A and B are shown apart, each in its own frame.
Chain A
């Protein structure tokens, strides 16, 4: 890991911010559909299958992020089939921006999945059933009735996942390193600067992180209120 010993950084703070936002947006966009399908499947599944999917989907939440990073490192190492296949295809993976996205995706997946599941669970199944008696198959009934009713929780899950991806650290540093201009996110840059004794340089990054979180949370609240007003008018 390259250590920063000087005060001039190779990448601007704004570039780090934009890279982090791009990583978080990509990883959230990747996992949201998967989490939604899985949450929908558990909604209709029997208790045993539901428990199994729950356990598998939430595992990264309870494991240390470095442990998850270690598992990913093992999977995508060139000595393993997945890593070897990617290498043969000429796709670099470990210590690339792709690895940053994967780490963020894996680590934020449980939160997104849990939020989606709670949202779908709380949208009454009766509406879904009535839609089916009106002639809609289960997928269409889910899309036209359950999803619009669960949208607040879905939005909450997306924001939670996005914020979690912004803050991802442990798994990222193991599979993507902390390479300025290549894999360094806000969280990694803050760590770098504080560790090297330049706390002052980390303040702006800290402000960025706080602003992103606040904007996301307030933005979702505004959207929810607006929709609630529309429903009761």
Chain B
């Protein structure tokens, strides 16, 4: 367990964070300038003015009252900044082995993160995604007791993001070190984290499961309309072109077989709330392979739009025009059918 009770004066406000983290991955979200990076740097010991108390599994890293302030090298915290900050004068291999020369661990990380083709290249010749993977391996070589990731996907193009996310999930599942993961993207929090901190002006304004936090417009401003499912147990039917999966969220889905034939499970699939059709009655015949019955459990009507959360029983978030919402006479408890096209799902991996 990570206990944080931290104060750090910044230019426009004081960072004041008090929380306990027990999840394997905790997402830290919030608008730009809300103190997310400062929080990570203070935890890593890079902000000398930080005061308060930080403990990991009872071991104190900072205790201003007891005059304990371990330097960064004694904290055992791995930190991957937004731009990876690989040492430019060293090759990828030298970067990874910079702190430790443990051959077994090196080989394992190179295999997990598929780094073998990159090892003899210098950072200047690596793409954003490759740099992030090398930086991740470099941090993990030290067997950190906490891993801090600052928007690792921010500088990476969309097609590659999903791929890196797969690596991050692999690391989460293989490494035992808990992660603190700063992100702007609701989807990343939903796909990776089981706990979520919302930071605003240096303070935590909400903490909870990513699904509850990231879809609450009162907390995140404009609600994220993204649905993420953790798919397991595939049943392929190549002739009919479909793969049926169960999900950790408790619903069955039908997905396109061609995109899943070679996939490794479990995997994450996502569908935007803009791509879901809401029907007032059960359709007699429809091309969408996923028709789920649900009821409205949350409704936020804004300027021209309505964000609606349905229980199916998995929570599904949909964004409609206000006109559509009024036409369907949606209110809390309304029963509807949701149509999710198989091909509207994105397979993250």
Contacts and interface: CB of A to CB of B under 8 A. Distances in A.
B342 interface: no
A200 interface: no
Contact of A149 (B44, B88, B124, B141): B88
A232 B125 contact: yes
B122 A133 contact: no
A137 B73 CA distance: 6
B89 A148 contact: yes
B125 A132 contact: no
B188 to A, nearest CB: 22
Name A's interface SS: helix
Contacts of A144: 98
Given A136-B73, A231-B124, A232-B122, A131 B98 contact: yes
A103 to B, nearest CB: 36
A130 interface: yes
A126 B100 CA distance: 20
A127 B98 contact: no
Which of B87, B100, B125 has the most CB atoms of chain A within a 10 A radius of its CB?
Answer: B87
Contact of A133 (B79, B89, B100, B124): B79
Interface string A210-233: 000000000000000000000111
B45 interface: yes
Interface string B44-61: 111000000000000000
Which of B46, B81, B125 is most buried by chain A, counting CB atoms within 10 A of its CB? Answer: B46
Given A134-B138, A135-B99, A231 B89 contact: yes
B98 A133 contact: no
A129 B75 CA distance: 13
Interface in B124-146: 124-125, 138-139, 141-142
A146 to B, nearest CB: 10
Contacts of A232: 122, 124-125
A138 B81 CA distance: 19
Contacts of B75: 133
Interface string B67-101: 00001110111110100010111000000001110
Contact of B89 (A135, A136, A149, A233): A149
Nearest to B79: A133
A133 B72 contact: yes
Interface string A129-159: 1111111111001001100110000000000
Contacts of A135: 73, 76, 99-100, 142
Nearest 3 A-B pairs (CB), nearest first? A134-B99, A132-B72, A133-B79
Interface of A: 126-127, 129-138, 141, 144-145, 148-149, 231-233
9 contacts: A130-B79, A131-B87, A132-B46, A133-B79, A134-B99, A145-B87, A231-B88, A232-B122, A232-B124
